[in-house]
Amino acid sequence: MPPGCDSMGDVMRAAKEDLLESARRTVAEHDMIAAGDLVLVAVSGGPDSVALLSVLAELAPEIGFSIHVFHLNHRLRPESTRDAEFVRGLAEGMGLPVTLEEFDVGAYAREKGLGLETAAREARYRLMRKVAAEAGATKVATGHTLDDQAETFLMRLVRGAGTTGLRAIPPVRDSIIRPLLWATREQVLDWCREHGLSYRVDETNLLPDQIRNTIRLRVMPVLKELNPSVAGTIGDTVEILESEDEFMLAAASERFQENACMRPTGEISIGIAQVRSMELAIARRVLRQAVGALGEDVSSVGFHQVEEVLRQVRSRKEVEVHLTGDLWVWSEYEDLLVARAPQGPVEVDYPLAVPASVDIDELGLHLEAKTVERESIEAPSGEAGLAMLDAGALAGDLRVTTPRAGDRFRPFGMRGEKKLQDLFVDEKVPRRRRWNTAVVRDGKGIVWVVGHRIDERFRISEATRQVLILQATTR
C-alpha cells in the first residue's frame, strides 16, 4: 500500500455506505450472482437474514436473478414454530416461494456427540443443499456479516488454528455465497430500521453460555473500546491471511506432488531427506496434505502431532507418531509413511493339502498348492507370490503359520542357516509387517517365507521329478 493511503476497506467503511451498496460491491467483487441464477436465501427470521433477503430483493431485477426462501426450524426453542411462520409470512408478503424444513438438532447432537452449535450448522448446510437441489437453485445465500467474521476469527484464535483456520468465513465456498460479509451488524440494524423491517430475536444469542456468544457479548465490546473499527480491522487481517494461505497452499501442493507417492498398499510415502530439506511451513502443510489424501479430515490432526513428526524426523531416529483415529506416521528406512494402523500380530496355523487351496482371512491371503511334472516347467519363476519347489524334498504335511520365535532356515542360494528375523532386516521388511507374514512349513521346518525366499533344500535340480507350485494372492 502506498505511503499515506488508507486501505479501501477503511475508506468504504469511513464513508458509511449503506447495506445495499456494501452488498452490491461484495457481490460484484466475488462474482457471486449471475443473470439467470436462482438464489436460495437462508432466512432464520433474525435481523441479518431479514436484511439479506431485503437487499437481494433490491438487487434481483438489477442483476437478473430470482429468489427462493429457505427456513430451518431447529426445534431448539419453544418460539421456533413462530419463527417459521414469521418467515413464511415474510416470503409470501414479498411474493417469493418459500420452503420450511424441520430438524431435531438436539437429538442429532446427542446421537453424534456434537455441540449444539456444530450440530445445527451441519444440519442447516445439509438441508440447504438438499432444498437447493430440489428447487433448482444455483446459489445459496447466508446472512453472515463482518461481525460474524470477527467473532469466528477470535473463536478460532482462542481454540487454536493456523492460517487456513484463521481465514474464518470465506465470501464464496462452492455454491454458498455471503453478500453481507463486508457489512457490519450496525449497518444491518440501520437498514432494518430505515426500511421498517421487523425481525425475530433469538434470546439464546444474548446468553454467554457458548464461546461465540461470550466473544460477542463480552470480548468484542472491550475490543471496540480499543478500536471502534475492530471488526473491519479483523476483516482486513482475514483478507491478508486468505491470499497468503492460498500462496502457501499452492507451494505445498507442488512439493507434495513432487515428493509424495501412493503405494499399492494404500500408504503415502515421502522421502525423509526431502522432508528434512523443506521449509518448516511447507513441511507442516505437506504432512497435512498426506492426511487429506487418505480421506481424513485434516482439521482432526493437531499442531502438536505434526510438530512431533517433524521433531522425530530432524532427530534422525525412528519415527512413530499417532496422528488421529487409526492414522499413523512411521519411518521405513529412507521413507516417511503416512498410513492407517495395521492389525497387531496374529497367530495362524492352517493345514495346506496338495492339491488344494486355503484362505487365511487373518492375513488377507489366498494360498494354492499343486504339483506338476518337472518336464512341464521351463524355468523357476521370480514372482514374489509364486514359489516352485522340489516336491520330493517335502517331509510330512504342509501347514501355513505366521513367524515363530527362534525361526531359522537356509534361504535359497545360501550355504548356511539364517534367522528369519535377520532375513526380514536384510530385505527391509518393516517391523510392523514382519509378524504377519505367512510362512509355509513341513515336518522339518520352513519351506517358504511367502513373498520372500524358499528354503535351499527345495531347490529344483536335475533329479527333481515333481515340482510343487505354491501361489499366494492377496484378498
Fold exhibited by the domain 349-474: Phenylalanyl-tRNA Synthetase; Chain B, domain 3 (3.50.40)
Does residue 205 have a pLDDT over 50? yes
Q: Residue 472 pairs with which residues in a beta bridge?
A: 367
pLDDT, tens digit (0-9, with 9 covering 90-100), for 304-316: 999 999 999 999 8
Rounded-to-10 torsion of CA 455, 457, 460, 466 = -100
Residue 14: per-residue pLDDT:
37
Q: What are the CA-CA distances from residue 299 to residues 271, 283, 306, 453 (Å)?
A: 24, 16, 12, 44
Q: Which region among 52-56, 316-320, 437-441, 460-464 has the lowest average model confidence (pLDDT)?
A: 316-320
Q: What is the CA radius of gyration of the chain?
A: 33
What is the pLDDT confidence band of residue 320, given thresholds at 50, 70 and 90?
A: confident
Domains 8-242 and 263-340 agree in fold:
no
What is the band of 244 on the pLDDT scale with cuts at 50, 70, 90? very high
Q: Is the pLDDT of residue 208 over 60?
A: no
Averaged pLDDT, 148-171: 92
- Check pLDDT > 90 for residue 237: yes
Backbone angles phi, psi at 192, to 5 degrees: -60, -40
Q: What is residue 377's predicted lDDT score, i.e. its pLDDT?
A: 80
Neighbours of 455 (CB within 10 A): 23
Query: Three cell numbers at 175?
Result: 455454491
In which band, very low, low, confident or very high, does the pLDDT at 13 lie, cut at 50, 70 and 90? very low
Compute the mean pLDDT over every residue in the chain, rounded to the nearest whole number: 90
pTM here is: 0.71
Per-residue model confidence (pLDDT) at position 78: 84
pLDDT band at 433 (very low <50, low <70, confident <90, very high): confident
pLDDT value at residue 8: 38
Q: How confident is the model at residue 474 (pLDDT cuts 50, 70, 90)?
A: confident
Q: How far is CA 232 from CA 141, 236, 383, in A?
A: 21, 6, 66
What are the boundaries of each domain within the chain? 8-242, 263-340, 349-474
- Look at 206-220, 232-246, 412-426 and tell me which has the smallest mean pLDDT: 206-220
**DSSP state, 210?**
S
C-alpha cell at 328: 499413523
Cell 507434495: give the residue.
256
Give the C-alpha distances (Å, rounded to integers) separating 293 from 256, 261, 288. 10, 10, 9
**136's grid cell:** 433448482
Tell me the pLDDT tens digit for each residue of 321-371. 999 888 999 987 788 999 887 767 789 999 999 999 999 988 888 999 999
Quick: pLDDT tens for 292-302.
999 888 888 98
pLDDT, residue 343, reads: 64
Cβ-in-10-Å burial (0-12, 13-18, 19+) of 196 comes to exposed
Query: So what's the pLDDT on residue 16?
Result: 46
So what's the pLDDT on residue 289? 95
Fold type of domain 8-242 = Rossmann fold (3.40.50)
Interior angle at CA 10, CA 7 and CA 13, nearest 5: 150
Task: Of 12-21, 174-183, 282-291, 313-322, give the lowest mean pLDDT range.
Answer: 12-21
More confident residue, 339 or 68: 68
At the top level of CATH, the class of 263-340 is: alpha beta
Provide the pLDDT for residue 469: 95
Q: What integer pLDDT is reported at residue 195 of this predicted model?
A: 94
**Which range is least confidently modeled, 44-48, 234-238, 325-329?**
325-329
